[in-house]
């Protein structure tokens, strides 16, 4: 990467600016806090993409809750789902009898989430609901009911607000689409 080059130069279009994201995350947090009033859910987030969303969402919820983190791999560094899911990091605490809220960044084919839901259901939680920031229904292969959706977006590969391309761009404060030249150019320097 060139010295002084801006990450923003690689972005073709901003789909959701940081104000739009913050406003919607505040609404989701308030809705979840009201739906779970009197309960003490555990938010299970999927690293790494959902960490930014999780960090903002939990602070938008005025509710006692705990968090746990899992890491799954499904995409490698490309842009197509392989359908292969591997657990890289498991839950730290049992979820037996707990109200689980799975916090996802984006649902595309749904294969990753489908796997995760079956895995979590086997551990005997009292309930499982799903909150995802971005829903891309165009390529859905698994039939999944998403309880809370931030935004429904078209079938484009997006980056920013936690989402990466080849591990880059997670720190962009908005959700955007990369310039095609980024995909066709040389891989980013390590």
CA 44 centroid distance within chain:
11
Among 54, 63, 112, 125, binds ligand 5GP (CB under 6 A): 112
Tokens 């990450």 locate to 7
Which CB atom, from 15 or from 63, has the smaller least distance to ligand 5GP?
15
145 is catalytic: no
* Among 108, 135, 143, 164, the one annotated catalytic: 108
Among 14, 18, 47, 81, binds ligand 5GP (CB under 6 A): 81
Q: Does residue 106 interact with ligand 5GP by CB under 6 A?
A: yes
SS3 state at 18: helix
Tokens 């989701």 locate to 28
Per the CB < 8 A criterion, the answer to whether 133 and 139 are in contact is no
How far is residue 96 from each of residues 25, 67, 104, 124, 142, measured CA to CA in Å? 28, 14, 21, 5, 25
How far is residue 180 from each of residues 112, 155, 156, measured CA to CA in Å? 26, 15, 11
Which CB atom, from 73 or from 127, has the smaller least distance to ligand 5GP?
73
Q: Does residue 159 interact with ligand 5GP by CB under 6 A?
A: yes
Q: Does residue 135 interact with ligand 5GP by CB under 6 A?
A: no
Which residues are bridge partners to 23 per DSSP? none
Q: Does residue 108 interact with ligand 5GP by CB under 6 A?
A: yes
Spatial CA neighbour of 7 closest among 189, 184, 178: 178
Among 56, 61, 69, 105, binds ligand 5GP (CB under 6 A): 105
Per the CB < 8 A criterion, the answer to whether 165 and 181 are in contact is no
Q: Does residue 150 interact with ligand 5GP by CB under 6 A?
A: no
Among 57, 69, 111, 131, binds ligand 5GP (CB under 6 A): 111
Reported residue count of the chain is 190
Which CB atom, from 42 or from 146, has the smaller least distance to ligand 5GP?
146
Nearest distance in Å: CB 80, ligand 5GP: 9
Active site residues: 108
Site for ligand 5GP, rule CB under 6 A: 49, 74-75, 81, 104-113, 157-159, 163-165
């Amino acid at each position: 990467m060139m010295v002084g080059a801006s990450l923003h130069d690689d972005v073709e279009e901003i789909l959701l600016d940081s104000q739009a994201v913050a406003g919607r995350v505040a609404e989701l947090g308030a809705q979840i806090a009201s739906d779970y009033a009197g309960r003490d859910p555990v938010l299970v987030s999927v690293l790494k993409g959902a960490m930014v969303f999780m960090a903002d969402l939990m602070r938008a919820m005025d509710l006692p809750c705990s968090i746990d983190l899992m890491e799954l791999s499904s995409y490698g560094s490309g842009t197509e789902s392989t359908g292969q899911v591997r657990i890289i990091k498991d839950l730290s605490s049992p979820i037996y009898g707990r109200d689980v809220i799975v916090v996802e960044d984006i649902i595309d084919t749904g294969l990753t989430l489908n796997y995760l839901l079956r895995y979590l259901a086997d551990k005997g939680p009292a309930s499982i609901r799903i909150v995802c920031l971005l829903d891309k229904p165009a390529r859905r292969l698994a039939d999944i009911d998403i309880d809370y959706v931030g935004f429904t977006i078209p079938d484009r590969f997006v980056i920013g607000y936690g989402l990466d391309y080849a591990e880059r761009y997670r720190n962009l404060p908005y959700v955007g689409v990369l310039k095609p030249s980024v995909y066709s150019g040389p891989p980013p320097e390590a």
